[in-house]
Structure 1
């Protein structure tokens, strides 16, 4: 069994176990804390899941390094070797306030290149995953690449900051080019909307490496474009203003006159 196959089997099993933990937690009182702001929350489950996943990775792959949202991983200064990205609950605000519309996300990169990506929609029990060069799958079934539609022929998604903060007011011109704007509050679930062809672009003002890494692998299987707002490659060692889009939609976005 190759390293990739071994990891694939383990990751799918770990995600199943993680989902069971989350479902059990719904029946209990969550411990909720603020991080940087009142809408930037972390729960005891975010921490517990990341701790469990980190322990499993270190047990099976002791030479690998980990980039995780809640601080159980390593302090990375480069992406050499094998690096895991973990987002234990992507969409924590949704988890706390809605108990739906959130995901568990894991990605594996080797020498800075994406190899395996996983996004599990906990509410719908749908696991999207990709292994580089092998396509994209949902619950084990292959997913066909969506049509390369332009932004003007479809919907786009964004995060609340683009719509509410004056610093990004110019970027609302992008929204004006689309047929409408949607907002789920989970980067991972927005990626699955792109995979399904429900939206043509996802534009977010502040995504962390663990928000980007899994979806980047999947979307690149379909030839989507991923970059920061200036058109440069995203940096998986820091937060990014990020564009995910079909090639046609991406061209519309980057040619928008923001002045």
Structure 2
């Protein structure tokens, strides 16, 4: 049994217990929302990891979540609740994200979407498991999704006019993991964000990569992750085999 697979049940149990508590939320110093459940879920996942793999690196979103030693082989990447604003508003677009990297390469990931009652697990080269059963994505129906583009809140206002002139529809879910899930389910053709973090996009982009959905940087190269707290300036994931030239031109335009 693989490392994350071994503790996935413990993580899911802890998450389900915590989500049954009363919700308290506030605004952090960076003006983003956080809840008592973000903090509790992060603490619970870190505790489970420490019990089984005490020397591994840990990178997570909330305060107190960084434990990085350059010489360690394995690194855990945690977003206790991605889409916290949606969670506070009782919307469905949020998820709990845990990934495992070996050196600078993702090898396992677990994504739990409580409002959808769906949990996805993937290990490198082993495909995707949905709720304990093999998940085999159907080929995307391009006639239905070819004009659906998901943007982040930082680019929605500035990029929508450009996409509109090219005949695309845009939407924003305020949740990277849910946005990538829409690609996996064949409901959108691409997801683009800027100035994101490893814990926001890393684990779920690994899962969609197991379905053949690729992620790129601003130079059109396959996105190379690293064990770091650094900002990822450009992220694009798409079902297109080759993204049209015009789309990259639009993506690279300055945002306001």
TM-score class, shorter-chain normalisation, is 0.7 to 0.9
Matched position secondary structure for 2:241: helix
Note the aligned Cα RMSD (angstroms).
Answer: 2.7
Matched position secondary structure for 2:39: helix
> Structure 1 pair 16/173, CA: closer, same or farther in 2 (3 Å)?
farther
TM-score (structure 1 length as normaliser): 0.84
Displacement after TM superposition at 1:81 (Å): 0.6
Q: CA deviation digits over 1:175-231, x for unaligned, max 9?
A: 644541122211111111111111110011232110111112112212222123343
Give the aligned partner of residue 5 of structure 2: 8
Matched position secondary structure for 1:86: strand
Which of 223, 230, 235 is the equivalent residue of 1:242?
Answer: 235
- Map 1:1-259 onto structure 2 (within 5 A): 2=1, 4=2, 6-22=3-19, 24-25=20-21, 28-37=22-31, 40-76=32-68, 80-147=72-139, 149=142, 153-164=146-157, 169=158, 173-174=162-163, 176-177=165-166, 179-232=168-221, 233-236=223-226, 237=228, 238-240=230-232, 241-248=234-241, 250-252=243-245, 253-254=247-248, 256=250
> Structure 1 pair 213/173, CA: closer, same or farther in 2 (3 Å)?
same
Matched position secondary structure for 2:179: helix
Task: Out of 68-77 and 101-110, give the one that drifted further.
Answer: 68-77
Higher helix share: 1
1:151–1:200 contact (8 Å) kept in structure 2 = no
> Structure 1 pair 72/120, CA: closer, same or farther in 2 (3 Å)?
same
**Unmatched tracts of structure 2, length 5 or more:** none
TM-score (structure 2 length as normaliser): 0.85
Distance in 1 between residues matched to 2:86 and 2:159, nearest whole Å: 27
Aligned residues: 247
Displacement after TM superposition at 1:171 (Å): 7.5
> Structure 1 pair 44/225, CA: closer, same or farther in 2 (3 Å)?
same
Task: Out of 209-218 and 69-78, give the one that drifted further.
Answer: 69-78
2:14–2:41 contact (8 Å) kept in structure 1 = no
2:18–2:40 contact (8 Å) kept in structure 1 = no
Distance in 1 between residues matched to 2:8 and 2:193, nearest whole Å: 27
**Unmatched tracts of structure 1, length 5 or more:** none
Matched position secondary structure for 1:161: coil
